[in-house]
Amino acid sequence: MSKSRLPREILKNVYWLGDCLEQRYQGKIYHSYNSSYLVIGEEAALLVETGHPKDFNELHDQIVGILEKKKVPLKYIFITHQETPHAGGVGRFLNIYPDIEIHGDVNDYHMAFPNYSANFKAMEVGDSIDLGGGMNFIAAEPVVRDMRTSLWGYITPYNLLFPGDGFAYSHYHWDGHCGMIAEEADTLDLFDVSAVFAELALFWTNFVDMEIYTKKLKELVDELDIKYIAPTHGLPILDIDKTMPKVIEGLQAPYHKLAG
């Protein structure tokens, strides 16, 4: 059985990239993703997240294979925040693509990569990148922040949200969930795996009333008319009405467990 099953085109010209990461918890091995997404317009391609350093060679091979067929250059990278699974490949991409633009909250990246300071383009909520052919990437408010520098984004016309660590959860390798979208993994206990990820990776959720955040999350989805969700650490969600309520319950679980 294939471990990754990626890359996968989840919407036309939107590719899910990466490889699985094994995590041990309470005697079980959960699989998770440090996913990247390649969005291809008529004039340019944009990569969301640079992936975990362990996956760089696999990730870059996936990108090259896709773009050689599409005949579109990789011009932009968007990173949701400055953490290794999300931004750990920035330096390698700059070495290979010295003219590429890195977008997001990048206020101190020039100190790590002084030779490429001109490549970093700060974005604020509402700023957009035109990829051509009606495909646009737009920066969005980060409801669930893993770091102060967190920033989310979405693409039109699909209204596909990239929420970074929002909607983070693992999946079951033994049930063949690797490379599936959330709705295909029908044996996945979304409440359980969302709660585990929130407890371990977003530890602050143990100490705040997450209903405040999940309410804002629902409001953002409604405001932007989001149709699909592509998390960095979870299976892509193509049926929000079916899957989103289960993930939200999981986000709320650590606080309710501690409070109750």
**What structural domains and CATH numbers belong to the chain?**
8-259 (3.60.15.10)
Query: Do the beta carbons of residue 79 and residue 90 sit within 8 Å?
Result: yes
Per-residue pLDDT averaged across 31-52, rounded? 92
Closest residue by Cα to residue 86 from 217, 235, 233: 233
More confident residue, 249 or 182: 182
* Cα gap 149→133, rounded to integer Å: 30
Q: Fill in the DSSP letter of residue 153.
A: E
CA atoms within 13 Å, Cβ hemisphere of 216: 12
Q: Is the whole model's pTM more than 0.75, yes or no?
A: yes
55, exposed or middle or buried, with CB in 10 Å at 0-12, 13-18, 19+? buried
- Across 24-38, 44-58, 100-114, 211-225, least confident range: 24-38
Q: What is the pLDDT of residue 238?
A: 95
Q: What is the pLDDT of residue 30?
A: 67
pLDDT in tens, 152-178: 999 999 999 999 887 766 666 767 777
pLDDT in tens, 72-91: 999 999 999 888 878 889 99
Give the confidence band of 59 by pLDDT, cuts at 50, 70, 90.
very high
Say how many residues make up the chain: 260
31 DSSP β-pair partners: 22, 171
Which residues in the chain belong to E strands, given as ranges?
A: 8-11, 14-17, 20-25, 28-33, 36-40, 45-48, 74-78, 101-104, 120-122, 128-132, 135-140, 152-156, 160-162, 228-229
CB atoms within 10 A of CB 17: 25
Query: Do the beta carbons of residue 221 and residue 241 sit within 8 Å?
Result: no
Rounded to 10°, the helix 210-223/240-259 angle is 160
Q: What is the pLDDT of residue 153?
A: 97
